[in-house]
């Protein structure tokens, strides 16, 4: 795509970077395309080739954007978009009155305006679309840009442009022209994408914002914010703006007037529509749409409630899973604790039994030791008594020892005398031993003589006879 250095509609040329496709005007908060428009000239010269010609409503809308073609939208838009637009318009402007829709496409909303009691006509750039709208809804149509039309100034009560403002090469110029054609209390009814000022392209991409679908830089030349919409019409002298709920969340739906906007009561709207048969048909269509909206709101509420309940159920399921997991962990921990408790109980029983046994043993041993102590105390007393006795004995013995020592000295003297006597006795004994030895020799000689005698035959014979 070719790059463009287009300035903002407000005249500001110092635009900041927003994305590869758009720049942002810090003065009025408009996103301005940086791509050369697919068709800068509002006139259609070749309906088969020009961007906003016939193929825009078939090939581009269907294949490039994924929308329904103009034939299908001529039916589906009546009960959806057109009913929403009609309901909002009637809150601020009642028929009769003159109305013009710029970029009316198939013309369904123009047809509803006519049947509601407005003198309505449509405007389109493509001759083929103009012819299609005439044939489909039997409505008056104008061909070409608004600036080319021969419409008397201050002659219109309503000018509607749905999803048109963002396509205009010169939005200030075209809206200025539209305001010239409106009566002093006339109303502009506008639907256009709404840039949420302050949001960056990176945020939108990260959050998958639906507004990203509006970045069609070769046809959406200016993406307005509420601030820039107010700025646009304030400059043009239309300072009264009402922001109504849009059909789609990424849009803004506004009513603009040079005079304060006045709301009509439901009874006033019903009275105006009941003035004509076709108006009654429109009222019936709006009643059906109201019921459908109520059902849709109930459905959305039910779905939101269902989503919340599903979310709660999901959270509860997660909690149940966590509880089950925690329960399993706790059961496992309880089993471990029970095993540890059993071990501790067994250990305690063993320790108690050991302590009891030890205590019994200690008591028995203490009794024994006490008995021993008592015995030892008795023994000590006995020993003390014995000691006293022994001391007495020792004293006695000491006296006796002294006596013995005296006696011993006396005995030593006696012993010395006895030793002398013993010496003499030893000498005498030696002499006796010598004499005894001589006697033994003599006895042996006699014994040998006696044995010879016995061995004689006569003596043996006498012995056998018992005589010897």
Q: What pLDDT score was predicted for residue 466?
A: 66
The b/e string for 355-368 (b: 16+ C-beta within 10 A; e otherwise) is: eeeeeeeeeeeeee
Report yes or no: 121 and 109 within 8 Å, Cβ to Cβ: no
Distance separating alpha carbons of residues 102 and 165, to the nearest angstrom: 10
Distance separating alpha carbons of residues 264 and 261, to the nearest angstrom: 10
Q: Is the pLDDT of residue 1 over 60?
A: no
The b/e string for 428-463 (b: 16+ C-beta within 10 A; e otherwise) is: eeeeeeeeeeeeeeeeeeeeeeeeeeeeeeeeeeee
Confidence of residue 232 (pLDDT cuts 50, 70, 90): very high
What residue numbers bound the domain in which 216 lies? 16-275
Q: What pLDDT score was predicted for residue 332?
A: 84
Q: What pLDDT score was predicted for residue 336?
A: 85
Per the domain annotation, does 205 fall within a domain? yes
Distance separating alpha carbons of residues 74 and 150, to the nearest angstrom: 28
Q: Up-side HSE of residue 317: CA atoms within 13 Å toward CB? A: 6
pLDDT tens digit string along 163-182?
999 999 999 999 999 999 99
pLDDT tens digit string along 140-164?
999 999 999 999 999 999 999 999 9
The DSSP code for 213 is G
Per the domain annotation, does 455 fall within a domain? no
Q: Is 138 left (phi over 0), alpha (psi -120 to 50) or beta?
A: left
Per the domain annotation, does 88 fall within a domain? yes
Share of the chain above pLDDT 90, in %: 53
Confidence of residue 410 (pLDDT cuts 50, 70, 90): confident
- What is the arithmetic mean of pLDDT over 88-107? 97
Report yes or no: 125 and 43 within 8 Å, Cβ to Cβ: yes
Phi and psi of 188, rounded to 5°? -95, 130
Q: What pLDDT score was predicted for residue 2?
A: 61
Helix (H), strand (E) at residue 185: strand 182-193
Q: Is 107 exposed, middle or buried (0-12, 13-18, 19+ CB in 10 A)?
A: buried
CATH for 139: 3.40.50.150
Count of structural domains, the chain:
1
Per the domain annotation, does 414 fall within a domain? no
For the chain, how many residues are written?
468
Share of the chain above pLDDT 70, in %: 97
Per the domain annotation, does 178 fall within a domain? yes
Among residues 124, 123, 136, the alpha carbon closest in space to that of 71 is found at 136
Helix (H), strand (E) at residue 413: helix 277-454
pLDDT tens digit string along 384-409?
887 788 788 778 877 876 887 787 68
pLDDT tens digit string along 259-303?
999 999 999 999 999 999 999 999 999 999 889 888 988 998 888
Per the domain annotation, does 407 fall within a domain? no
Q: What pLDDT score was predicted for residue 422?
A: 77
- What is the arithmetic mean of pLDDT over 229-236? 98
Per the domain annotation, does 397 fall within a domain? no
Q: What pLDDT score was predicted for residue 467?
A: 52
- Minimum mean pLDDT range among 14-28, 200-214, 304-318, 445-459: 445-459
Distance separating alpha carbons of residues 349 and 272, to the nearest angstrom: 99
What mean pLDDT, rounded, does the chain reach? 89
Q: What is the pTM of this model?
A: 0.68
Per the domain annotation, does 209 fall within a domain? yes
- Minimum mean pLDDT range among 90-104, 180-194, 291-305, 348-362: 348-362
């Amino acid at each position: 795509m070719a790059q463009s250095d287009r300035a903002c509609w407000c005249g500001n040329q110092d635009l900041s970077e927003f994305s590869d496709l758009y720049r942002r005007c810090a003065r009025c908060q408009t996103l301005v395309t940086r791509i050369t428009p697919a068709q800068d000239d509002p006139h259609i010269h070749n309906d088969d080739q020009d961007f906003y010609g016939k193929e825009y409503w078939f090939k581009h809308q269907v294949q490039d954007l994924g929308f329904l073609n103009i034939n299908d939208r001529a039916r589906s838009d009546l009960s959806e978009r057109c009913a929403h637009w009609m309901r909002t318009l009637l809150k601020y402007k009642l028929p009769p009155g003159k109305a013009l829709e710029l970029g009316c496409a198939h013309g369904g909303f123009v047809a509803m305006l006519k049947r509601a009691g407005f003198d309505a006509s449509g405007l389109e750039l493509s001759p083929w679309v103009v012819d299609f709208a005439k044939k489909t809804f039997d409505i008056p149509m104008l061909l070409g840009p608004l600036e080319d039309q021969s419409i008397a100034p201050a002659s219109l009560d309503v000018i509607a442009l749905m999803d048109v403002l963002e396509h205009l090469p010169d939005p200030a110029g075209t809206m200025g022209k539209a305001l010239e054609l409106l009566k002093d209390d006339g109303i502009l009814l506008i639907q256009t994408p709404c840039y949420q000022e302050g949001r960056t392209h990176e945020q939108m991409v990260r959050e998958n914002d639906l507004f990203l679908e509006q970045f069609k830089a070769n046809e959406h030349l200016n993406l307005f914010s509420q601030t820039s919409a107010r700025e646009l019409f304030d400059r043009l002298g239309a300072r009264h703006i009402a922001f109504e709920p849009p059909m789609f969340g990424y849009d803004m739906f506004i009513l603009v007037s040079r005079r304060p906007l006045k709301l009509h009561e439901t009874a006033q709207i019903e009275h105006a529509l009941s003035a004509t048969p076709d108006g009654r048909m429109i009222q019936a269509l709006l009643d059906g749409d109201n019921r459908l909206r109520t059902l849709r709101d109930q459905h959305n509420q039910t779905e939101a409630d269902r989503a919340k309940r599903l979310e709660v159920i999901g959270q509860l399921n997660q909690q149940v899973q966590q509880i089950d997991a925690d329960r399993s962990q706790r059961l496992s921990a309880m089993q471990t604790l029970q095993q540890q408790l059993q071990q501790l109980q067994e250990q305690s029983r063993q320790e108690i039994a050991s302590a009891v046994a030890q205590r019994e043993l200690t008591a028995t041993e203490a009794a024994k030791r006490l008995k021993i102590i008592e015995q030892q105390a008795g023994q000590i007393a006995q020993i003390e008594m014995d000691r006293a006795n022994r001391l007495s004995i020792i004293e006695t013995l000491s006296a006796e020892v002294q006596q013995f020592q005296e006696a011993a000295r006396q005995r030593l003297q006696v012993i010395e005398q006895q030793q002398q006597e013993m010496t003499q006795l030893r000498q005498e004994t030696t002499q006796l031993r010598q004499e005894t030895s001589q006697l033994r020799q003599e006895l042996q000689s006699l014994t040998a003589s006696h044995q010879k005698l016995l061995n004689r035959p006569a003596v043996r014979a006498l012995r056998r006879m018992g005589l010897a």
